Structure formats: structure tokens, C-alpha cells
Chains A and B, each alone.
Chain A
Amino acid sequence: MGAASLYGAGPSAAAPAQPEKPLGLGTPATPEEIAGWDIDVRPDGMGLPPGKGTATQGEAIFLEQCAACHGDFAEGRDRWPVLAGGHGSLKADRPEKTIGSYWESASTVFDYVRRAMPFGNAQSLSNDELYAVTAFLLNMNDVIKDPEFELNQGNFTSIRMPNADGFYDDDRETTERKFWNAEACMKNCKTEVVVTGQAAILDVTPDSKSAPSVD
């Protein structure tokens, strides 16, 4: 077996002697300080601020603040993310993962737009604008059918996403169990070896439509 010796792989990878009592460092966070930074929204509605908006109102905001990258109908421009469409494509050879086809919870739309969008001008939308833009995106994905439906703090958690049941927790330790304690062949493991794929033959500088996406 390997000549590896485990320097520094002690019983606990991180901990020095843990103080029994707090060190008394840090200052109390005031309710005002917390309110200024606490922007997250959870699927059960925790964190939703007061506010309301319709898809029709959201469309006007979207055209002004979002459509330059994401398209007038949230269909995406150039390499910018596609936000609507792709329904039923998750088993396809080239799935299109959008809010409507893939996302598990509507709260994620609100949370993410609130903290990170518009790209380059984050945390600039008012709460009403956030409800309206969220309603518009859900309307473009046929999750909210009526563009005049008012999305608000009270009814937000009634929204159910099409792919809400599409996820399950990491199961590698069972479904990939065979990768543990697999026998490693060392001698005469195969007879013929053929090259089945070559980066140089592929030799693609992939284009904007077929290239993998990192966003």
C-alpha cells in the first residue's frame, strides 16, 4: 500500500481547545442593524417583507431593468441566462433549466433577485418591485396564469413550482456504493484499448449556443 503518512490528520481537523465559556467578543446586533442586512427569504415564507405586485406591473420594471440581458419575455439574450421556458426538457439530451422548468421554490426567485439583481445594481429594487418582477417571471413561466394576479406577502407561499418534487438529497453513498472498496485491477486488465474521443478532433471553440454554461 501507499507510503503515505498522515501528518497533521489529527482526530479533529479544525479545533483547538474549545473555550467552555464565550470569549466575550463581538457587540450586540441591534434590530435596526439586522433589519438592514437580513434579506433572505425561505420557502416557508420566512423573511418575506410587506409588499405586493402584479405581473403587469412587473413587466414594465422588467423591460426597463432586466430585458437588456434576459430578453423582453425572459427568454434570454446572447449568453445571458434564460429565465423562462424549457418546460418538460429535463430528461432531454439538452435540458433547458429555467425558473419554470427547474426551480424548486418561488422564494428562490424573490431571494435571488433581491440580493443580486439587476447584475451590477444589486439591492436596488423596492419590495413592491420585487413582488411585481417575481410575479412577471412566474407569469412568463405559466406558474401565475393571470397577469393581474396580485402577489403579496400573504399569498406568496401558495405558489407551487412545476418542478417542486424534482429534487432529492445527496444519495451518493448508496447509489454509488460500488465506488467504495472496488477492487483495483493492476495487471493485464484489458486487451484492446481504443481512443474514443479526442479534444483536438472536436477542436471546438464552442459557440454561444452549444457551449457549457457557467453563470
Chain B
Amino acid sequence: MSEDNEPQKNTRSRRQFLKSAGLTGALVAAGAKSAWPQASSAEAKPENLPPHVADWSKHLGTGVADRPYGKPSKFEAHVVRRDVEWLTASQQSSVNFTPWHELDGIITPSGLCFERHHGGAPDVSPADHRLMVHGLVDKPLVFSMSDIMRMPRVNRVFFLECAANSGMEWRGPQLNGCQFTHGMIHNVMYTGVPLRTVLNEAGLKPKAKWLLVEGGDASGMNRSLPVEKALDDCLLAFKMNGEALRPEQGYPLRLVVPGWEGNIWVKWIRRIEVGDKPWLAREETSKYTDLLADGRARRFTFVMDAKSVITNPSPQAPLRFKGQNVLTGIAWSGRGAITRVDVTLDGGRNWREARIDGPVFERSVTRFYVDFDWQGEELMIQSRCHDSTGYLQPTKNELRAVRGVNSIYHNNGIQTWLVRSNGETENVEIS
């Protein structure tokens, strides 16, 4: 099994666990039939198990110069971003998905952060990058990366969720895996400078009400950002998880708009124009507006509401053992901090409060757990989260009652996974 590919210590504790749990060798037949590639689960090689001594205990491993920039173990090769080809007409204006079912804690590894581009991911030279600030300012300015790097900086952990995350699920369960239903989100630590510091250099005129923020890619991604938000908590970030932004995340400079839909987090940001009215750019008219059942549409639906999902078990991560198991998942809210997560195993008849572990930041992914005993009964599992504004994550039907099924964006409804007696897990909806 795959856990035998981990260091010896874990293999031993695995065995001890099985023994102490008094399990009757209760490995379930997890023949999860899925359209998506599964984790490798190579058979353990007896020659590596006690009383034999494995090769890696006898021969030297690689030297320190072998991997100047490290990569995950080859046994983790299945932990990758994946895309869904039929979603888009081109690979350059498309999306891929973070493999949350393989992750834990709250920080997304930079190389696994989902991507969403509209004109591909350019390779921008930091020496040539410029940020222009003009419009209703006292002094129009151009900033080089060197200028930005000389400003007082901060470190903050935030989630970035695509407005369309779970958007394919409005009409019913469609994709089998939380990577696909909930994978358009990542959560990293940003280092950057407050946007207000840059605006303060140029000096906003009294009539300034909106900013046009624009990317340096071939889509010229542009959105209208209210000045109050810009002056509140937005950042111009140049590092994520301690190192420079990845090219696909906006290297060398991106906008961070805490709690708000991912589209407005403009990457490769090249220009900010200060104005007195919004621009009604394509990405806030044709896209990122939410069509309701009466034929009218909400616009400027910036905030991402409270949401959660169980990442394990899930369709890509079926239950494989009877007895003691770990249920885990993530919760987040664009309006504040997650204060509580409830989990049901019986389709909403009864709920228990999950255990939150790890740091809880505002507008950040929060990790929760339920440690439970499973004897092969069918489960219908859901999570629902509460945030610091008193918001309670709604069901999908409660959302549809207000919005219909054509709003595409902002689907934060409660997700149900059906765990069958063989551990196989499926994306379903229940009454």
C-alpha cells in the first residue's frame, strides 16, 4: 500500500496501529472506479520489510548537491494540479485544480496552487516590470520592482478562491472529486506592501472612488476595485510561501484582495488608474456577474461567502480501512474568521462539532478534523461552517431558492459525499 512508500518509522507505526486497534485485517476493497487518476498504491515489497533490511538502509542516498531546488518524492507523483479539458476552448484561457484531497494543514504548496489564466502565463522579467499609477492622483508615477521592494512590507495568509469554484455543480453533482468540485482555491502566505502605500506615493484626489487594476498579460485583465477596499487591506505581493511568486501566480507582482473573488486578484499587475466610477470591464459585465432566475444579474459580488468541504474521505480518497479513521477538510470565509465547523456522517440527521487544528486566520483556509470509528456502514457526510459574522454555510437548495441554477459563480453550498460500504466515495446530493 502507498503508506509503505513512506519512511520506515511510519510503516512501523502503521503496523502498531493495526495491532492496537485490534482490527481484523479490515482493509476494505476500495475499488474506487473513477474517471480520475488515483494515487499510486504499489504493493509493498517483502524484501524491504522486517526482518529484511531494505536497500536504502545499506547504500548512500543522494548528495546535497543533487537537488539544489527540491521536489516531492517520486512516490508523490500523483499529487498534481489537474485540468478538465472540456471546460474550456483553450489551455491559455482555462483553469486547473488544487489536489486538496492529498493536502493537509492550511498552506498550499506553491507548485500545487490552482491556476486560472485568460491569456496564458507570461514569463515577465522583473527588471522590465513596471507598475503605473495614474488618473485622479496628484502625481502619476511608475514603479519598478526595486521601488516596490524598498517599501515597508507585511506577511499575511489568505485564501484565493475563484468565483467559479464549484460552479459546475449548480445543477447537480457532476465531478467526482473535491479537487474538481472545490479545487479552485489556494491558501498561501503572501509577503508584500499594502496597496495604500503605493497609492499614498501618488496621492489620491478627493474624487477618487474606484481603481482600474490591470494585468500585464495578453488578456490585459482589468477590474474595478473600490477605493475603500484598496485602502483597507489589499496588498501588492511579490512573495508567496517565502519565495518569489510563481510565474503562473503573477510573478513578479500581483494584487491580493483578501476575502474577495479570485478574478480581481490581478496578476502581473502593470497599471492602476484612479477614477470616480467603475469601468464595467468585460470581467465584471460578461463574466463575474451572477444571473438570477428573474433574468437580472447581480454585479460586483466581490466577497466569497463562508464555505467548507470534506477533503478526506472524498471520491479521490476513499476509505480503505475499517475501525479508526480520520475525516478532515477545510473551511474558509471571505467575511472573517471561521469560528466553528459541524460535520454529519448520517446525511444531516445528526451533527457533531469538528475539531479545528492549526492557526485560524481571518480570510484564510482553516483545517478541521473528526476522528471516527467506521465499521463499513454507508455514510452520507457533510460539513457546514460558521464565520465570525454569524453566517452559516447554506445548503445548495437554500442557495438555489434565492438564485436559481444559472448564476455560475459563488456556489458555497454544503457538499455531500456518499461513502459506500466498500469505502468507495461519490459526489451526491441528498434530500
Contacts and interface: CB of A to CB of B under 8 A. Distances in A.
A15 B233 CA distance: 7
Interface string A177-189: 0011110111111
Interface string A13-25: 1111111001111
Interface in A181-204: 181-182, 184-200, 202, 204
A108 B280 contact: yes
A200 B249 CA distance: 33
B105 interface: no
Given A28-B139, A212-B168, A199 B427 contact: yes
Interface stretch (A110-118, A127-135, A136-144): A110-118
Interface stretch (B18-26, B50-58, B269-277, B322-330): B269-277
Nearest to B282: A112
Nearest to B177: A199
Nearest to B219: A116
B338 A4 contact: yes
A2 B220 contact: no
A50 interface: no
Interface stretch (B39-47, B61-69, B344-352): B344-352
B60 interface: no
A122 interface: yes
B218 A212 contact: no
A46 B142 contact: no
B190 to A, nearest CB: 10
B29 interface: no
Interface residues of B, number: 126
Contact of B172 (A18, A172, A197, A205): A197
A97 interface: yes
Interface stretch (B5-13, B70-78, B238-246, B356-364): B356-364
B419 interface: no
Given A189-B351, A200-B176, A215-B93, A14 B277 contact: no
A98 B391 CA distance: 35
B376 interface: no
B279 A214 contact: no
Interface in A65-104: 69, 78-81, 90-91, 95, 97, 99, 102-104
Interface in B174-233: 174-176, 194, 196-198, 200-203, 212, 214, 218-220, 222, 232-233
Nearest to A122: B218
Q: How many A residues touch the partner, as a band?
A: 35 or more
A9 B362 contact: yes
A176 interface: yes
Contacts of A166: 295-297
A1 B339 contact: yes
Contacts of A14: 154, 156, 194, 196, 232-235, 258
The residue in B175, B273, B275, B293 that gathers the most chain A C-beta atoms within 10 A of its C-beta is B273
Nearest to A121: B218
Contacts of A206: 86, 174
Given A34-B140, A103-B286, A172 B134 contact: no
Interface in B377-431: 380, 384, 386, 389-394, 398, 402, 406, 408, 418, 426-431
A48 to B, nearest CB: 13
Given A8-B157, A196-B430, 13 more contacts: A13-B156, A13-B362, A15-B154, A15-B233, A25-B151, A37-B270, A115-B219, A116-B219, A120-B218, A168-B298, A179-B305, A186-B350, A215-B88
Interface of A: 1-9, 12-19, 22-29, 33-34, 37-44, 46, 69, 78-81, 90-91, 95, 97, 99, 102-105, 107-108, 111-112, 115-116, 119-120, 122-123, 166-172, 175-176, 179-182, 184-200, 202, 204-208, 211-215
